[in-house]
């Protein structure tokens, strides 16, 4: 019998499992088994995106686990994201249908704008000119949001969220929408604690989802100079005290802060490890020690598109 994960409640009344499975860089060949294993272990929330190129495999795994009776559709919560080359009105309508078809679903539990920047449409997902420079488009993310509101009205999506938006961009959506974002997904771990953005979101009834909660040690552009969260000496001491691992402490820290958290793994043993975080509690002192490790280190800076007018990292949060 699988263990169960606590739910958070969104401002629109929808509940969502606080712990989910990340799937960025989960490759074809690995991801079907990983999603099946995750569902067997008890994960009920799966995070994907058009840009991850694995929605089709995730759809196969989800369908198999529904057909073998492990779960029903309404016990699962699937998030996907609108990619940067699909921001214009016609493209948003197209993108949701593509994602739903690949995932073999009638609706998404949550749909997010993946990044505020739009790239030129109709080409590859990272469109570049002959000099390797990204080709931007000038679509305002407010246009995308208005279509996403229609997707909710059509029943194709239950909740709307934003990913990689800064506080000003989130506020601009709130001020110009009829359906408010219930969730903001951003990079967040002990080395990038996002405490200011968390407070900002909390004041507006938005729940934060922590991506790269283990400071993803395999981000493709990482260098040997990047800090290594999983080797952090202070967190190692806390983990040893509780008979837990550093990843488990990092995940637990997010849960106790009230965030949703979506660690990725394709290995069954790690999926179990990352799920096994509901039988211990970090003390107030542990929490403070972990908070103190913050160094505002951001792996997903995307500074190669920093000239885009909507690149989100020009302001502190
Ligand atoms: P994570 O911090 O979850 O780290 C994943 C990496 O850590 C993988 O290399 C994984 O390897 C390894 N790992 C997982 N568990 C353990 C463990 N217990 N011990 C040691 N190593 C471990 O990084 P992600 O960037 O993947 O973030 C999680 C999810 O957040 C993504 O998969 C995606 O769904 C979402 N995300 C969203 C973004 C956005 O722009 N909205 C951007 C980035 C992520 P292995 O698989 O081999 O176990
Ligand atoms: C380009 C990075 C996308 C991760 O969600």
pLDDT in tens, the chain (317 residues): 457 899 999 999 999 999 999 999 999 899 999 999 999 999 999 999 999 999 999 999 999 999 999 999 999 999 999 999 999 999 999 999 999 999 999 999 999 999 999 999 987 999 999 999 999 999 999 999 999 999 999 999 999 999 999 999 999 999 999 999 999 999 999 999 999 999 999 999 999 999 999 999 999 999 999 999 999 999 999 999 999 999 999 999 999 999 999 999 999 999 999 999 999 999 999 999 999 999 999 999 999 999 999 999 999 99
What lies within 8 Å, CB to CB, of 153 at 6+ separation is none
Mutate to test the pocket of ligand 2, among 25, 113, 114 (most ligand atoms within 8 A of CB): 114
Tell me the per-residue pLDDT of 86-116, one tens digit each, with 9 for 90 and over: 999 999 999 999 999 999 999 999 999 999 9
Strands (E), 145-213: 157-163, 183-187, 207-211
| Strand ranges in the chain using DSSP code E only, listed in sequence order | 7-9, 15-17, 45-47, 77-82, 108-113, 157-163, 183-187, 207-211, 260-261
Question: How do strand 207-211 and strand 183-187 relate by DSSP bridges?
Answer: parallel
Residue 52 annotated as catalytic? yes
Q: What's the CATH code, domain 14-297?
A: 3.20.20.100
Q: Which ligand is nearest the CA of 45, by number?
A: 1
The answer to whether the pTM exceeds 0.95 is yes
Ligand 2 centroid to 24 CA: how many Å?
A: 7
Contact 137, 118 (CB under 8 A): yes
Give me ligand 1 centre to Cα 162, in Å: 19
Question: Hey, which residues does 161 pair with through a beta bridge?
Answer: 112, 183
Atom of ligand 1 nearest to the CA of 48: 34
Q: Inter-axis angle of helices 195-203 and 167-175, to 10 degrees?
A: 10
236-240 LR contacts (CB < 8 Å, sep 24+): 238/282, 238/286, 238/289, 238/290
Is any ligand 2 atom within 6 A of the Cβ of residue 262? no
Question: How do the domains of the chain map onto residue ranges?
Answer: 14-297
Closest CA to ligand 2's atom 2: 300
Round to whole Å and give the CA distance between 101 and 231: 41
């Amino acid at each position: 019998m699988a263990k169960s994960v606590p739910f958070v409640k969104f401002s629109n009344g929808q509940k969502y499992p606080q712990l989910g499975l990340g799937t960025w860089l989960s490759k074809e060949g690995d991801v079907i088994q990983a999603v099946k294993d995750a569902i067997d272990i008890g994960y009920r929330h799966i995070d994907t995106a058009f840009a991850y190129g694995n929605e089709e495999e995730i759809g196969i795994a989800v369908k198999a686990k529904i057909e073998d009776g492990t779960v029903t559709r309404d016990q699962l919560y699937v998030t996907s994201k609108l990619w940067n080359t699909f921001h214009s009105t016609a493209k948003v309508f197209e993108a949701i249908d593509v994602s739903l078809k690949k995932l073999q679903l009638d609706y998404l539990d949550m749909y997010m704008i993946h990044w505020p920047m739009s790239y030129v449409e109709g080409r590859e997902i990272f469109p570049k000119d002959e000099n390797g420079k990204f080709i931007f488009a000038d679509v305002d993310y407010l246009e995308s949001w208005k279509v996403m509101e229609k997707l909710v009205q059509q029943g194709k999506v239950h909740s709307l969220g934003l990913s990689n938006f800064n506080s000003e961009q989130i506020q601009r959506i709130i001020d110009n929408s009829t359906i408010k974002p219930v969730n903001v997904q951003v990079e967040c771990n002990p080395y990038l604690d996002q405490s200011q953005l968390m407070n900002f979101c909390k004041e507006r009834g938005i729940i934060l989802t922590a991506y790269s909660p283990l400071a993803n040690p395999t981000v493709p552009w990482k260098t040997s100079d990047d800090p290594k969260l999983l080797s952090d000496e202070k967190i190692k001491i806390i983990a040893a005290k509780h008979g837990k691992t550093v990843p488990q402490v990092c995940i637990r820290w997010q849960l106790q802060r009230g965030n949703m958290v979506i660690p990725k793994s394709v290995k069954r043993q790690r999926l179990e490890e990352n799920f096994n975080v509901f039988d211990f509690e970090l003390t107030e002192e542990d929490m403070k020690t972990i908070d103190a490790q913050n160094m505002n280190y951001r792996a997903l800076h995307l500074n190669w598109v920093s000239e885009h007018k909507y690149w989100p990292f020009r302001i502190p949060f």
